[in-house]
Amino acid sequence: MNKHVGTSVSGAEGEDLSKNSEIHLDAGFMASVAGAVGTPFYCYSPEVIARAYEELSAALSPVDVSICYAVKANGNLAILQLLSRLGCGMDIVSGGELERVLEAGAPASRVIFSGVGKSASEIAKALVAGVHQINVESPAEFHLVADIAASLRRRAPVALRVNPDVDARTHDKISTGKKGDKFGVALSEVAGLFEAAAARPEIDMVGLAVHIGSQILDLAPYRHAYGVLADLVRDLRAKGHSVRRLDLGGGIGIAYGAQGAPEVSELAAIIDETLGDLGCALTVEPGRWLVGRAGALVTTVLYTKEAGDRMLAIVDAGMNDLMRPALYGAVHPLEVVRSAAGGEGQSYGLVGPVCESSDIFGLYDGLPTLSAGDLVAFRCAGAYSASMASTYNARDLVPEVFVSNGRFRIVRRRQTTAELLALEKDTTWHDIASSQAP
Ligand SMILES: *Cc1c(COP(=O)(O)O)cnc(C)c1O
């Protein structure tokens, strides 16, 4: 059983949450939408997303840093449209995300293609679309990008993602910038690849990228990584290479509970102090920070029961809908949207219906008495929540809904089991020797 103690949004501890979690999803609205679309569903506030974007761009504009949203945090089309219209660029990690951002109307010229395992067809699609930059993560990928660009008679704008060997002091499963992590090119290999680029005219080596991890609450690792990057730029320039752009990654953490989160103005100051004098075009790629606080997963209590010395509330959302607790022991703040019995001071383990012992959202104290039919919401579920959902246990993907100004808009409808079953129908045997299996 997950030993983390969650935090109820209501009550004294909720005061601590308000500053950084900017909760503007009204419980009454969530209850009405639950009546209209059924549970579970994801509920988002477009205002909270827009405000986060405006706050970040205001903090970063004095240091002239542009923003590309890390689509993997939440790739819903309506969210991409919203951010794109506000002027935000996009950071993608797959061909599917490329299709998504283009469908949302984002210009390819504002798209950065990141990721450690891009396939040849994804690289080709990105070059044909005309993306702003491809962040290359290995010598082998560098040569593949060059070969594909040559065959397409295009020039590939490439930045090298370097592994700065910095500990982001976050969860092991979301740390990406330490020596031995799978991401990026070792510092010792960077100059050699800049040399190699000089011999490959189809590569336009534009600069460097770093991304040290996610949910980073202590900004010191950024200072460390950006310092390493600045030294690298000076070293490359001394060797005669041009370094025009720096992509500074994402990873800025948000407050999921009572713990504080960093101020983006402090990050801006660190960028200015470490990299401000290099004359490079700067970009950051936040995902969680822009959308994490803007969402909630609303779910109905199906049953309560005793298990040993504790009470469990079994809800209709499971680890397939919201995977972060099972994946990294994350605890989302819980809000009781509607409790028939009322009361206070109760403790429950909130668990889902999936047949896995890890399908546990956490232990929560200070709750009213819960009973079947009550509604609860896991807050701060705008990032790495719907985007990580699966259909495990043949559970259909749940709807996503925008709530704004007393209205709601379904931005992804509920999947049906028939849609999933359709993928498995009309199957035929193919002769392996003579067929080109798809
Ligand atoms: C995931 C990722 C991001 C965004 O991380 P957040 O923690 O959501 O800000 C940015 N850049 C790269 C390369 C990533 O893989």
CATH classification of the domain holding 383: 2.40.37.10
Among candidate residues 68, 88, 355, 380, the one labeled active-site is 355
Based on the fold, state whether residues 373 and 278 are members of the same structural domain.
no
Mutate to test the pocket of ligand 1, among 134, 211, 385 (most ligand atoms within 8 A of CB): 211
pLDDT for res 203:
98
Based on the fold, state whether residues 58 and 156 are members of the same structural domain.
yes
Could you tell me if residue 433 is inside a domain? no
Based on the fold, state whether residues 73 and 195 are members of the same structural domain.
yes
43 belongs to the catalytic site: no
Distance from Cα 213 to the centre of ligand 1, integer Å: 7
Based on the fold, state whether residues 55 and 135 are members of the same structural domain.
yes
Could you tell me if residue 427 is inside a domain? no
Distance from Cα 72 to the centre of ligand 1, integer Å: 8
Distance from Cα 249 to the centre of ligand 1, integer Å: 6
pLDDT for res 437:
58
Based on the fold, state whether residues 79 and 16 are members of the same structural domain.
no
- CB of 137 within 6 A of ligand 1: the answer is no
User: Rounded to two decimals, what is the model's pTM?
Assistant: 0.93
Based on the fold, state whether residues 232 and 319 are members of the same structural domain.
no
Give the residue whose CA is nearest to atom 8 of ligand 1: 287
DSSP collapsed to 3 states, the chain? CCCCEECECCCHHHHHHHHHHCCCCCHHHHHHHHHHHCCCEEEECHHHHHHHHHHHHHHHHHHCEEEEEEHHHCCCHHHHHHHHHCCCEEEECCHHHHHHHHHCCCCHHHEEECCCCCCHHHHHHHHHHCCCEEEECCHHHHHHHHHHHHHHCCCEEEEEEEECCCCCCCCHHHECCCCCCCCCEEHHHHHHHHHHHHCCCCEEEEEEECCCECCECCCHHHHHHHHHHHHHHHHHHHCCCCCCEEECCCCECCCCCCCCCCCHHHHHHHHHHHHCCCCCEEEECCCHHHHHHHEEEEEEEEEEEEECCEEEEEECCCCCCCCHHHHHCCCCCEEEEECCCCCCCEEEEEECCCCCCCCEEEEEEEECCCCCCCEEEECCCCCCCHHHCCCCCCCCCCCEEEEECCEEEEEECCCCHHHHHHCCCCCCCCCCCCCCCC
- CB of 385 within 6 A of ligand 1: the answer is no
Based on the fold, state whether residues 30 and 110 are members of the same structural domain.
no
Number of domains forming the structure of the chain? 2
- CB of 211 within 6 A of ligand 1: the answer is yes
pLDDT for res 438:
59
Could you tell me if residue 423 is inside a domain? no
Could you tell me if residue 430 is inside a domain? no
Could you tell me if residue 424 is inside a domain? no
Could you tell me if residue 273 is inside a domain? yes
Could you tell me if residue 204 is inside a domain? yes
Residue 397 structural domain: 3-44+292-417
Based on the fold, state whether residues 240 and 348 are members of the same structural domain.
no
Based on the fold, state whether residues 230 and 351 are members of the same structural domain.
no
Based on the fold, state whether residues 94 and 11 are members of the same structural domain.
no
Based on the fold, state whether residues 100 and 164 are members of the same structural domain.
yes
Which of 291, 313, 336 lies at the terminal end of a domain, its last residue?
291
Residue numbers in the chain where pLDDT is lower than 70: 1-24, 434-438
Distance from Cα 356 to the centre of ligand 1, integer Å: 28
Which of 254, 275, 291 lies at the terminal end of a domain, its last residue?
291
CATH number at residue 273: 3.20.20.10
Based on the fold, state whether residues 225 and 319 are members of the same structural domain.
no
Which of 243, 270, 291 lies at the terminal end of a domain, its last residue?
291
Could you tell me if residue 271 is inside a domain? yes
